[in-house]
């Protein structure tokens, strides 16, 4: 198709690794369906990706950047969340308008057909409205997580949030069941996105505003598949036009597309050779995603728990994993696990999870990590940090039964016992069998005629303003 006749999607992810990845995957799929792609990153994220040796940008995408308004030398961990979110709503809309105008003036670029914005970037809907084109909210968390965010007003009306004071975090209130959200079984206060009870007032209000605004989108996309989260998807569909089109990484594979990849860190590929030398299904992969931080004490408890389990493990320790300092493992521990451990600062996670030596995943339950583990058929231990990770833990352990829920307080004995349960014995086999079934279901969902495949077809029609 001649360039100028191609439909043109502008994609705008929230500026973090876990949001950019699925947005890249969606761009890859849209590109394969004839779309001209403009991918808009913040300058900081884009710069990090250009510097990483592992980024595999699609040469055919057009990249644009907007400033996030924060000095480049400051890190963007969750400690900066207030500043980042403030800047996103205060500065970025005007910069997005500039990008859109620049595209309009370029005679070699086809007119914009739609804007797809990530979770918490719903301010971009205004630009789509001004241009008279569809604005599409792409929710990158799980459907269960997204649904709770979208039900924030119900939680407020029913007096669950905001918490009256900090004592509610420890007085048993977090165990209380919540029944005001239809279609959500087993929901307790401790499952709702942690930002609703432990973030600043600013973040709380930011989330409420952004989720409300995303309800004005023409429609929503979620990186899940109907069969995985059916009751929640049904409840969502009763309130909004929403399509489950995932797992996008599986959809990429089914379409013969090489994984589009944008990484903030350079991957340590040498871990793959180490995995080649390990026994089938014996290795625990330990990784807490791109933003989680922990204390020195928590790191040490994980370390001794892994040591006690006697399983081989591959552990990703990001340079900024520990609060305000770099991670220091006890020398005695490092000595003891020599020969059955590999430490990396950033791993090629997808390749790792699909490697036959990997038999279990100790994860922070980020949605990408959870989906990747399902697609690879690997059971999990869940130690959530924030956002939708708490509800993901509950779904993994209690609804899908493909993993084990860890307590929030890390204790070496518990880590050791859980790793053993994850890797050896009847319970481990059962979890492996069930996650294998979900993996097969995910493949069916994105294959021709499957739920996600059909949903994508419907969404594509709407994206071009048809059936609006
Ligand atoms: N990831 C990776 N290598 C690592 C750690 C993480 O490639 O060493 C990728 C992982 O595959 C996933 C993303 O980073 O796609 C993390 O997203 P997730 O939603 O799991 O967690 P977040 O980082 O947003 O908390």
Distance 463 CA to ligand 1 centre (A): 28
Q: Is the CB of 374 under 6 A from ligand 1?
A: no
Cα distance between residue 400 and residue 402, in whole Å: 5
Confidence at 82, pLDDT banded by 50, 70, 90? confident
Q: Decide: 126 and 216 in contact? Cβ < 8 Å.
A: no
The mean pLDDT value for 116-138 works out to 96
Ligand 1, from 368, 376, 380, 403: best to mutate by most atoms within 8 Å of Cβ? 368
In the predicted structure, residue 467 carries a pLDDT above the cut 60? no
pLDDT digits (tens, 9 = 90+) for 247-304: 999 999 888 877 667 888 999 999 999 999 999 999 999 999 999 999 999 999 999 9
Q: Is the dihedral of CA 407, 169, 394, 252 positive or negative?
A: negative
For residue 259, the model assigns a pLDDT of 66
Cα distance between residue 19 and residue 172, in whole Å: 33
Distance 363 CA to ligand 1 centre (A): 10
pLDDT digits (tens, 9 = 90+) for 348-396: 999 999 999 999 999 999 999 999 999 999 999 999 999 999 999 999 9
Distances (CA, A) of 460 to 241, 456, 467: 13, 6, 10
pTM here is: 0.96
Share of the chain above pLDDT 90, in %: 80
Q: What is the DSSP string of 215-237?
A: TTSSEEEESS-TTTSHHHHHHHH
For residue 398, the model assigns a pLDDT of 96
The alpha carbon of 10 is separated from its chain's Cα centroid by a whole number of angstroms, namely 20
Q: Is the CB of 375 under 6 A from ligand 1?
A: no
Q: Is the CB of 289 under 6 A from ligand 1?
A: yes
Q: What angle do CA 287, 289, 291 make, to 5 degrees?
A: 135
Residues in the chain: 468
Q: Is the CB of 25 under 6 A from ligand 1?
A: no
Closest CA to 140 of 28, 275, 244: 244
Distances (CA, A) of 345 to 50, 135, 289, 330, 454: 18, 37, 11, 17, 39
- What mean pLDDT value characterizes the chain? 93
What the block records as the tokens of 37 is: 């792609």
Q: Is the CB of 366 under 6 A from ligand 1?
A: yes
Cα distance between residue 97 and residue 139, in whole Å: 22
Q: Is the dihedral of CA 111, 116, 122, 125 positive or negative?
A: positive
Ligand 1 atom closest to 19 (CA): 24
Q: What angle do CA 281, 284, 288 make, to 5 degrees?
A: 140
Ligand 1 atom closest to 21 (CA): 15
Closest CA to 214 of 350, 326, 115, 85: 115
What the block records as the tokens of 395 is: 């779904």
Q: What residues contact 335, with CB distance under 8 A and at least 6 apart?
A: none
Confidence at 466, pLDDT banded by 50, 70, 90? low
What the block records as the tokens of 125 is: 């809907």
């Amino acid at each position: 198709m001649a360039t100028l006749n191609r439909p043109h999607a502008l994609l705008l992810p929230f500026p973090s690794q876990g949001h950019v990845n699925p947005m890249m995957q969606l761009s890859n799929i849209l590109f394969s369906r004839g779309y001209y792609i403009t991918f808009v990153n913040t300058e900081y994220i884009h710069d990090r990706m250009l510097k990483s040796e592992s980024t595999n940008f699609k040469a055919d995408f057009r990249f644009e950047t907007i400033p996030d308004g924060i000095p480049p030398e400051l890190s963007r961990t969750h400690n900066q969340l207030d500043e980042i979110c403030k800047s996103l709503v205060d500065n970025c809309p005007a910069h997005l308008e500039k990008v859109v105008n620049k595209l309009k003036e370029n005679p070699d670029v086809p007119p914009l057909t739609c804007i797809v914005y990530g979770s918490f970037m719903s301010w971009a809907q205004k630009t789509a409205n001004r241009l008279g084109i569809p604005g599409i909210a792409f929710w990158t968390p799980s459907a269960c997580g997204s649904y709770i965010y979208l039900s924030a007003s119900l939680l407020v009306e029913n007096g669950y949030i905001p918490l009256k004071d900090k004592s509610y975090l420890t007085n048993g209130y977090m165990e209380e069941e919540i029944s005001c959200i239809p279609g959500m079984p087993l929901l307790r206060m401790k499952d709702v996105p942690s930002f609703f009870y432990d973030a600043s007032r600013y973040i709380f209000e930011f989330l409420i505003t952004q989720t409300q605004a995303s309800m004005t989108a023409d429609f929503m996309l979620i990186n899940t598949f109907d069969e995985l989260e059916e009751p929640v998807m049904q409840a969502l569909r009763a309130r909004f036009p929403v399509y489950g089109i995932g797992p996008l990484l599986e959809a990429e594979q089914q379409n013969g597309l090489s994984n589009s990849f944008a990484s903030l860190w350079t991957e340590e590929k040498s871990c793959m050779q180490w995995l080649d030398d390990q026994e089938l299904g014996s290795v625990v992969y330990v990784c807490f995603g791109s933003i989680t931080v922990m204390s020195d004490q928590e790191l040490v408890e994980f370390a001794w728990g892994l040591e006690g389990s006697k399983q081989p493990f591959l552990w990703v320790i990001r340079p900024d994993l520990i609060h305000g300092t770099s991670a220091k493992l006890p020398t005695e521990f490092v000595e003891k696990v020599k020969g059955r451990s590999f430490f990396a600062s950033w791993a090629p996670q997808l390749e790792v999870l699909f490697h036959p030596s990997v038999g279990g995943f100790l994860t922070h339950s980020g949605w990408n990590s959870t989906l990747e583990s399902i697609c690879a058929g690997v059971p999990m231990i869940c130690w959530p940090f924030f956002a939708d990770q708490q509800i993901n833990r509950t779904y993994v352990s209690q609804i899908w039964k493909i993993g084990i829920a860890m307590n929030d307080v890390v204790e070496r004995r518990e880590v050791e016992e859980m790793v053993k349960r994850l890797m050896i014995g009847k319970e481990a086999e059962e979890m492996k069998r069930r996650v294998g079934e979900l993996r097969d279901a995910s493949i069916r969902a994105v294959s021709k005629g499957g739920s996600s495949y059909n949903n994508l077809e419907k969404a594509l029609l709407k994206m071009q303003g048809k059936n609006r």
